[in-house]
Amino acid sequence: MEPSVQTEALSKRYGGRTVVRDLHLIVRPGEVYGFLGPNGAGKTTTLRMLLGLVRPSAGTVRLFGRPPGAGRLADVGALIEGPAFYPYLSGRDNLRVLARHAGVGMDRVALVLDLVHLADRADDRYAGYSLGMKQRLGVAAALLRDPRLLVLDEPTNGLDPAGMADMRQLIRRLGAGGRTVLVASHLLGEVEQICDRVGVIAGGRLVAEGSIAQLRGAVGLWVLADPLDAAVAHARTLVGTERVRVVGGGLELSVAPERAAWLNTELVTAGVAVRELRPRERDLEQVFFDLVEKGTADVA
């Protein structure tokens, strides 16, 4: 199936500065894709190029196989930068204005209000909404045309923890159907909770792409066993001295996590009691930090 988003060698320069560089990005239909990077990494600039709001300096963008603006307008909905609404109109009336403008049936207004869980406050003035409600109304507006691709730029920015949780739930709900959702965020935890796949951008470059599990990468096994000395000695004969480290009263083994059952059998057969055996994962925060540092250093 045609990718929802595909960029090739996409770049943007402002003056002499390259803020997005040689970006090859593929977002597949139906996935919730996290575009993760620190402030200033080039996320918003990229999203603006995807939406045809900023002209690339080089490279191409395709949405459902076509350049931005060439496909059906209804294919893409976006919430990028704060949404603009009339403060003295209700949420519902604000959406009605937009629906009329977009040539969308009024039945969609009630439907999207329901989707973002604003139905019960829909007739209150926008000015009285919490920040979280304002953001959700922004998402509702982006959903009016029932787009196949929804683009959200930092949707939880400025929200309190409850507002953030609501927004994350909403994004998960929206991604549960066939819709493609592209979410830019600088929050690792957020992307981890809601996205199927992640692209990490730093210094304008895509420095990693994959599922959270792939990014994290299980890097070995962690074993607690008695007696420790015998466990270490036997593990070293099994997998090689350099692959076994003693850390905090246990063993760290640099071997494929799939070898856990084999290792357990071998140790037990050798008379070692295995108390704990589990995959050793890298700390995602550290992975992200390393990627960003690497990406930024490459540019400098």
Ligand X SMILES: Nc1ncnc2c1ncn2[C@@H]1O[C@H](COP(=O)(O)OP(=O)(O)OP(=O)(O)O)[C@@H](O)[C@H]1O
The residue within the footprint of ligand X, chosen from 10, 19, 32, 183 (CB under 6 A), is 19
186 binds ligand X (CB under 6 A): yes
44 binds ligand X (CB under 6 A): yes
- How many CA atoms lie less than 13 Å away from 277 in the CB half-sphere? 22
55 binds ligand X (CB under 6 A): no
- Shortest Å distance, C-beta 1 to ligand X: 28
Per-residue b or e along 223-255, where b marks 16 or more CB atoms closer than 10 Å to that residue's CB: bbbeeeeebbebbeebbeeebbeeeeebbbbeb
Closest to ligand X by CB, 68 vs 257, is 68
At 122, is the secondary structure helix, strand, or coil? Answer: coil
- Shortest Å distance, C-beta 78 to ligand X: 14
Q: Within its chain, how far is the Cα of 209 from the centroid? A: 10
The residue within the footprint of ligand X, chosen from 23, 34, 42, 277 (CB under 6 A), is 42
43 binds ligand X (CB under 6 A): yes
> Is the Cα torsion angle 173, 174, 179, 181 positive or negative in sign?
negative
Report the DSSP pairing between strands 17-27 and 32-36.
Answer: unpaired
235 binds ligand X (CB under 6 A): no
Amino acid at 246: V
78 binds ligand X (CB under 6 A): no
Closest to ligand X by CB, 95 vs 202, is 202
Closest to ligand X by CB, 198 vs 223, is 198
CB 4 within 8 A of CB 29: yes
- Shortest Å distance, C-beta 49 to ligand X: 10
Closest to ligand X by CB, 45 vs 90, is 45
14 binds ligand X (CB under 6 A): yes
Closest to ligand X by CB, 6 vs 11, is 11
Q: Within its chain, how far is the Cα of 231 from the centroid? A: 41
- Shortest Å distance, C-beta 184 to ligand X: 7
- Shortest Å distance, C-beta 203 to ligand X: 9
Closest to ligand X by CB, 19 vs 149, is 19
Closest to ligand X by CB, 40 vs 71, is 40
- Shortest Å distance, C-beta 55 to ligand X: 11
Q: Binding segment for ligand X among 38-46, 75-83, 85-93, 275-283 (CB under 6 A)?
A: 38-46
Cα–Cα distance, 262 to 216 (Å, whole number):
23
Residue 24, CA distances (Å) to 11, 44, 180 in order: 10, 16, 18
- Shortest Å distance, C-beta 296 to ligand X: 12
What are the phi and psi torsion angles at 85 (to 5°)? -130, 160
Per-residue b or e along 23-50, where b marks 16 or more CB atoms closer than 10 Å to that residue's CB: bebbbeebbbbbbbbbeebbbbbbbbbb
Q: Within its chain, how far is the Cα of 57 from the centroid? A: 25
Kindly list the residues in this chain that would bind ligand X in the complex (CB under 6 A).
14, 19, 37, 39-45, 186
